[in-house]
Amino acid sequence: MRGMKSRYSQPKLELYGCFRALRHWRLYPIGIKHLILEVDAKYIKDMLNNPDLQPNATINCWIQGVLLFDFELQHLPTDKHWGPDAISRRLPTNEE
């Protein structure tokens, strides 16, 4: 299945990341009145509000999974997004 996901476009992979994160942490946001989901991809909001015209069962499943949560989606530009990723967790080398 991992090979299948590698054929998706970057926006669809970003949507899949939101879906997986919310699904993984699904028990923690219960009862939170104002959950804010910060992403560095503007197009996720459009994908949630206006899905593709051609039905795709997998992506529709991701969209429905994300929309089960009550949250506000906020765009953070990449230079202000300090979320965990491989580069931000890497320790600086002696040359840096």
Predicted pLDDT at 1: 47
Query: Strands 35-39 and 71-75, how do they pair?
Result: parallel
pLDDT in tens, 44-63: 888 888 776 666 888 888 88
pTM of the predicted model, to two decimals?
0.67
What average pLDDT does the chain have? 77
Contact 73, 66 (CB under 8 A): no
Q: State how far the alpha carbon of 2 is from the alpha carbons of 7, 30, 46, 60, 75, in Å.
A: 9, 30, 25, 18, 27
Alpha helices in the chain (DSSP H): 2-5, 10-24, 43-49, 57-67, 86-89
The pLDDT of residue 86 is above 70? no
